[in-house]
Amino acid sequence: MSGTGYIYKREPLIFELSAPGRRAYSLPSSDVPACDPAEVLPRDQLRREPAALPEVSEVDVVRHFTRLSQRNHGVDIGFYPLGSCTMKYNPKVNEVVAGLDGFANVHPLTPEDLVQGALQLMYEMQTYLCEIGGVDAVTLQPAAGAHGEFTGVSIIKAYLASKGQGHRNKVIIPDSAHGTNPATAVIAGCETVEVKSDARGGVDIESLRAVADENVACLMLTNPNTLGLFDENIHVIADIVHRAGGLLYYDGANANAIMGYARPGDAGFDVVHFNLHKTFSTPHGGGGPGSGPVGVKKELADFLPVPVVGKDGDRYYLDYSLPKTIGRVKSFYGNFGVVVKAYAYIRSMGPEGLKRVAEDAVLAANYLMRKIARDYHLMYDRICKHEFVASGVWQRDRHGVKTLDIAKRLLDHGFHAPTVYFPLIVPEALMIEPTETESRETLDAFAEAMARIAREAEETPEKVTGAPQTTFVKRLDEARAARQPDLAYRGDLPKE
Amino acid sequence: MVRSPYLPNTEADRRRMLEEIGLSSVEELFADIPEEVAFKGRMTLPEPLSEMELLAHMKRLAARNASASDWAVFLGGGAYDHFVPSVVGHVLGRSEFYTAYTPYQPEVSQGVLQSIYEYQTMITRLTAMDVSNASMYDGASAMAEAALIACAATRRTKVVTPLTLSPEYRETIRTYLAGQRLQAVEVPYDPTSGQTDLAALEKAVNGDTAAVLLAHPNYFGCLEDPEEVGRLAHAAGAVFVVAVDPISLGLLKPPGEYGADIAVGEGQPLGNPMSFGGPYLGFMAATEKLVRRMPGRIAGATVDQDGDPGFVLTLQTREQHIRREKATSNICSNEALNALAAAVYMSLMGREGLVEVARLCLAKAHYAHERLTALPGFSAPFSAPFFKEFVVKGPDFAAAAKRLAARRILVGPDLGAGYPELRGSFLVAVTEKRTRAEIDSLADGLGGKA
């Protein structure tokens, strides 16, 4: 090890630790008759040389990945106000229960009578999500939010086609929407039409009227939207789209704000996806796994992917008998292990607890917004929901400090940065979502760091533009990474 | 009153926060929800459980499932009971990894980014392909997205999907193709060998063919002739997509050596528990030429301000958060933690260990094949070579499964559901975990011994 202190400047790649003959595994010797691969497999199909995987000892592997973990920020280390991602605390008991033998080590094709516990859990989860979302039927199959979007839009298209409306091919998407919405519409074979936001941050009603015609398949809406604002005209919007013969799709990325206060199904949404890894506390895993169940109104229930879980008396079963199903979106039944954690969360919180979650999330966001508004511009200065979007335009215009610099300086202060430069309609956007699991003291400390950075931008801007200075690596050259892609190790790493 | 260990703010905190905002009640924060849509009721959900009560409840549910710790699992069909070394769970339990999200701030996410880069490197070495992404949802959706890449790259509309692909893969692919009015063209299998019918495949491939998909080993466990399938695909200017079992690559020639343009697969066998079907990971590797059409996250190496090496997400102009409707895919969250499990698993098994696992699977599967097909009334319907999974034909699967349950053995699935002509045939998967005693017991149970 080439380190010179407790904190190593660089952790070598696992391949650099490799030495021929080292091993980190122990396997039993074979208890069956010998079997020569060259005898039972076609010779021309045999691998000539083993894959060049590392040759390391077990302690090498453990230290390597432990050290890597230490070079990473997570919710368990500190505040992670990444807007629209709902980086709330991930309860530990949920990890424990998902790891139970009877959940983690069960083959998906085990006969139904030997997996009644798993099926019961899934059935109950479907029921809970119906209640929380105000919908009639739920599939747990989609593996993430965007996967849920694809499932939902595919359901809408199939439903419309069954009504002789197969020509409807337009998906209306507000300019504040997540990038997954337009990308989903195109993958599902639709065209996208963008609608503007109005001065209060909601869907511009006149623009919507202008595009809501006989070719509309659906409107995809996040509510509260990515500005953290609840669309006050939602009933009007629903009416316009429905009158045009289109359906309403609810992107559930921001559902943490409304549990117990509003249900998408009651507000006219026909299809809803839930992000179990946001609203229901399952960990984000460094980029997944997520889980993106989709709920629908009665008329659309026959179009869900199969199987869904049904109940007959006391017996739970996998129901493949949906004649109009869109088919499958993945193997088996969804990210079951993630569903277990979300189920445990709902059972821990109960109905009042989930409502309190929404209250505390919204309270935290508004509290933080008032503090941050002292030094940063707010384009939409009204009560927000679970998140808000501040802007670094003052710092940019007055001191030449960009939002990216502010984000990097926050890392020096021990905080993960908010989502930046999104939504696209706010210049120099800082999208901040504190979540309900942060104490008032944490929020105060973050506000204080933001205030200090605002002062630094004024007095010592180079401190901000030169950030971060205290991280394992300094600001990374992303342009070079894209210009000279180095996507797999071939013996050396880029140098200056 | 709500009391939850996950909600730190007290009534006093809430009052002070409301004061700062200038409101007198929390309800006022929800005044922007129009009367017409506000939910006034109380959600009908079970009352909250304490941690102790929750644990007891969850243990009761878990106890009603047959786990691989108590049962000998010979089930196959896309998920496999491979051994997961203790280190994998230990690393995945590091909450710096599992409580992080997509590494949007690379300076404080070097752990996740470097591990993705290492994962990508291992996948390219395993498959002998040029580039790998950071993971897809699972093998089926990875193959479906590979088909979409092929359609976009060739501007063609037909995808050849042999019946030797898993029924679940084919259903997933159909759903992905349906929206864009792309078409799956099915190709039969040779009923004697269990392999894709190459003559039929050759007829099905033409100037409209965007991609030829192949699973190798296929759903029946049979090895295909990937070299020849690749040749047929390329002769028509189609993209050759192959789905491989990563464990089989300990012994089998990697896709990069027989002309695959895209290699995908179910990564579950690489250190991920079966977890009743998910979360798993789909891996996807491709030739250099296709890198800008790849879906999802890709990590790359670069340098920082001081010229020291570091890692970032790169080539993001492919992705939905930058390109919106022009993105190559809508994927955002992937299966990073499962990919980390795969990277740790491949680090542990290493160059020699993966070969050893594959050899154990091969030997045990062949022993099981010999035992089962020698039973009176049982036979092997297919003649093709196999790796760890194979088809057995028997008189009455349902009755046999019942007998085996008494021995705490699971086998299957029955192929009748996806292939009516194969009623009575079932899959047998044999991993390195199965012992000779278990295989003998499987044979005895199938053969009718009580």
Rounded to 10°, the helix A440-459/A336-372 angle is 50
pLDDT at A5: 58
Partner-chain contact A487 B299, CB within 8 Å: yes
Pick the residue from chain A with its C-alpha nearest to B37.
A267
Task: Give the number of other CB atoms < 10 A from CB of residue B257.
Answer: 16
Contacts of A117 in chain B (CB under 8 A): 60-65
Of B169, B301, B360, the CB nearest to A30: B360
What would the two tokens of residue B238 be? 């189609």
Look up residue A105 and give its amino acid. N
CA atoms within a 13 Å half-sphere pointing along the CA-CB vector of B61: 23
Contacts of A51 in chain B (CB under 8 A): 122, 125-126, 128, 249-250, 254, 351, 354
Digit-by-digit pLDDT tens for chain B (450 residues) are 789 999 999 999 999 999 999 999 999 999 999 999 999 999 999 999 999 999 999 999 999 999 999 999 999 999 999 999 999 999 999 999 999 999 999 999 999 999 999 999 999 999 999 999 999 999 999 999 999 999 999 999 999 999 999 999 999 999 999 999 999 999 999 999 999 999 999 999 999 999 999 999 999 999 999 999 999 999 999 999 999 999 999 999 999 999 999 999 999 999 999 999 999 999 999 999 999 999 999 999 999 999 999 999 999 989 888 889 989 999 999 999 999 999 999 999 999 999 999 999 999 999 999 999 999 999 999 999 999 999 999 999 999 999 999 999 999 999 999 999 999 999 999 999 999 999 999 999 999 876
pLDDT at A2: 43
What would the two tokens of residue A369 be? 């917004």
Contacts of B122 in chain A (CB under 8 A): 51, 53
Domain boundaries, chain B: 72-84+352-446, 86-345
What is the distance between the alpha carbons of residues A114 and B2, in angstroms, rounded to a whole number? Answer: 37
CA atoms within a 13 Å half-sphere pointing along the CA-CB vector of B310: 27
Of A308, A240, A287, nearest to A87 by C-alpha is A287
What is the distance between the alpha carbons of residues B217 and B269, in angstroms, rounded to a whole number? Answer: 14
Q: How many residues does chain B have?
A: 450
The dihedral over CA atoms of A196, A198, A203, A205, expressed in degrees to the nearest 10, equals -100
Cβ atoms of B161 and B187 closer than 8 Å: yes
Of B92, B25, B83, nearest to B343 by C-alpha is B92
Cβ atoms of B278 and B138 closer than 8 Å: yes
Of A48, A289, A439, the CB nearest to B337: A289
Of B117, B147, B405, B100, nearest to B262 by C-alpha is B147
Cβ atoms of A184 and A150 closer than 8 Å: yes
- Indicate the CATH number of B72-84+352-446 among 3.20.110.10, 3.30.2350.10, 2.60.120.620, 3.90.1150.10: 3.90.1150.10
What class has domain A356-480? Answer: alpha beta
Q: Could you tell me the CA-to-CA distances from A194 to A174, A204, A376, A422, B295 in Å, in that order?
A: 5, 11, 29, 16, 23
- Max Cα distance, chain A (Å): 78
Please spell the DSSP secondary structure of B192-204, one letter per residue.
Answer: TT-SB-HHHHHHH
The dihedral over CA atoms of B426, B431, B436, B442, expressed in degrees to the nearest 10, equals -20
Cβ atoms of B48 and A402 closer than 8 Å: no
Cβ atoms of B335 and B141 closer than 8 Å: no
Cβ atoms of B142 and B236 closer than 8 Å: no
Contacts of A438 in chain B (CB under 8 A): 8
Partner-chain contact B37 A107, CB within 8 Å: no
Does ipTM exceed 0.95? yes
Contacts of B58 in chain A (CB under 8 A): 97, 100, 340, 344
What is the distance between the alpha carbons of residues A350 and A338, in angstroms, rounded to a whole number? Answer: 19
Which helix H or strand E contains B213, and what residues bound it? strand B209-215
What would the two tokens of residue B219 be? 């759903």
Closest Cα in chain B, distance from residue A247 (Å)? 17
Look up residue B422 and give its amino acid. L
Contacts of B387 in chain A (CB under 8 A): 41
Digit-by-digit pLDDT tens for chain A (496 residues) are 344 555 567 899 999 999 999 999 999 999 999 999 999 999 999 999 999 999 999 999 999 999 999 999 999 999 999 999 999 999 999 999 999 999 999 999 999 999 999 999 999 999 999 999 999 999 999 999 999 999 999 999 999 999 999 999 999 999 999 999 999 999 999 999 999 999 999 999 999 999 999 999 999 999 999 999 999 999 999 999 999 999 999 999 999 999 999 999 999 999 999 999 999 999 999 999 999 999 999 999 999 999 999 999 999 999 999 999 999 999 999 999 999 999 999 999 999 999 999 999 999 999 999 999 999 999 999 999 999 999 999 999 999 999 999 999 999 999 999 999 999 999 999 999 999 999 999 999 999 999 999 999 999 999 999 999 999 999 999 999 999 999 999 999 998 7
Partner-chain contact B137 A30, CB within 8 Å: no
Partner-chain contact A35 B350, CB within 8 Å: no
Phi, psi of A316, deg, nearest 5: -100, 145
Phi, psi of B391, deg, nearest 5: -105, 135
Partner-chain contact B140 A383, CB within 8 Å: no
Architecture of domain B86-345: 3-Layer(aba) Sandwich (3.40)
Positive/negative CA dihedral, A92, A97, A99, A100: positive
Q: Are strands B282-286 and B262-266 parallel, antiparallel or unpaired?
A: antiparallel
Domain boundaries, chain A: 14-70, 94-349, 356-480
Of B71, A130, A3, A19, nearest to A140 by C-alpha is A130
What would the two tokens of residue A479 be? 């342009």
Write down the CATH number for the domain with range A94-349.
3.40.640.10
pLDDT at A6: 59
